């Protein structure tokens, strides 16, 4: 079966997963075509399978992106499944997971066009350092950290984005300065490795570590975050014996009590840091090969 790998052009940053994945797929006899999701010349609606990878510009074209995903998913297998893509492109899911009992970084959602008293919101929660970011976002787009002394700058940032986008308010977790934010990579039914990310704000470069082992309490949180996902894909066409998910990334940090909390659950287009952990790269390519052959 033909395999199309969805990306975007131009890429906002270099995709370190791209070349290793193409190499591993080729070694398994899979002729994969890399193409921008917004390039109609690719023939996304022709018979074949599609796997989403680095479609990082979707945050600026969400409606068109979801329309593309709906069309491409009718042509054959689509990973991750369309219901997951629709759910995961808006970080409202953090509130839903918190309501299900998943330990999540405290999150306030400001809907587009809302009249927000930012000082009152912060005072009521006792947050002296905080983060503002778009609810539909990838990478560091529109993400900034502020202190109370920078309240006017924070208001200006909110005023810039809120007329056009839903926004999130979260406390700044100081553990990311030392321990770092941890990205737990999950492929085809199993967590494979994690990496440490340094804080990255709008316009900054991402710095990541080599592959790390996953701490037991982080693993438990990752499993809890993924547990509700099966209910999102009821009725989706799945390959027999496979997980509804092909890949996932669970980004966590530690709170003031050193407990891991969910920062983001990446199920659409996350970097999986495959070059840092060859077994994960092989597992991903093997999973695609199995699904294409079934």
pLDDT at residue 235, as a whole number = 52
Number of neighbouring beta carbons within 10 Å of residue 14? 9
In the sheet with 260-266, reading across from the earlier edge strand, the strands are 190-197, 181-187, 247-254, 260-266
Q: Fold for 3-80+285-293, please state it.
A: Rossmann fold (3.40.50)
Q: pTM of the entire structure?
A: 0.94
**Mean pLDDT to the nearest integer, 91-105:** 96
pLDDT at residue 232, as a whole number = 75
Number of neighbouring beta carbons within 10 Å of residue 244? 18
Per-residue model confidence as pLDDT tens digits over 202-217? 556 678 899 999 999 9
* CB-based contacts of 120, cutoff 8 Å, min separation 6: none
Map tokens 């947050």 to a residue.
Answer: 127
CATH of domain 93-102+176-273: 3.30.470.20
Task: Please answer whether residues 225 and 162 qualify as being in contact, where contact means their C-beta atoms are separated by less than 8 angstroms.
Answer: no
How confident is residue 244, by pLDDT bands cut at 50, 70 and 90? confident
Q: Domain locations in the chain?
A: 3-80+285-293, 93-102+176-273, 108-172
Q: Fold for 108-172, please state it.
A: Dna Ligase; domain 1 (3.30.1490)
User: Is it the case that residue 142 has pLDDT exceeding 80?
Assistant: yes
């Amino acid at each position: 079966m033909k395999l199309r790998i969805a990306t975007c052009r131009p890429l906002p940053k270099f995709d370190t997963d791209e070349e290793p994945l193409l190499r591993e797929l080729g070694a398994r006899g899979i002729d994969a075509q890399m193409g921008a999701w917004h390039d109609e010349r690719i023939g996304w609606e022709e018979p074949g399978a599609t796997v989403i990878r680095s479609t990082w510009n979707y945050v600026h074209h969400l409606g068109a992106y979801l329309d593309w995903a709906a069309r491409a998913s009718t042509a054959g297998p689509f990973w991750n499944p369309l219901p997951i893509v629709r759910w995961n492109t808006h970080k409202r899911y953090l509130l839903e997971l918190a309501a299900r009992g998943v330990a999540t970084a405290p999150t306030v959602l400001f809907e587009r066009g809302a009249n927000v008293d930012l000082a009152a919101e912060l005072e009521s929660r006792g947050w002296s350092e905080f983060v503002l970011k778009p609810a539909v976002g990838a990478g560091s787009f529109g993400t900034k950290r502020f202190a109370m002394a920078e309240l006017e700058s924070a208001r200006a940032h909110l005023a810039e984005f809120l007329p056009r986008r839903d926004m999130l308010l979260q406390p700044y977790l100081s553990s990311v300065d030392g321990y770092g934010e941890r990205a737990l990579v999950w492929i085809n039914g199993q967590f494979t490795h994690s990496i440490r990310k340094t804080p990255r704000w709008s316009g900054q470069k991402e710095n990541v570590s080599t592959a790390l082992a996953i701490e037991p309490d982080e693993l438990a949180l990752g499993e809890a975050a993924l547990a509700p996902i099966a209910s999102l894909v009821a009725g989706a066409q799945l390959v027999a014996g496979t997980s509804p998910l092909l890949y996932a990334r669970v980004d966590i940090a530690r709170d003031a009590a050193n407990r891991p909390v969910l920062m983001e659950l990446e199920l659409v287009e996350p970097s999986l840091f495959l070059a840092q952990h060859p077994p994960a790269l092989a597992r991903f390519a093997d999973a695609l090969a199995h699904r294409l052959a079934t």
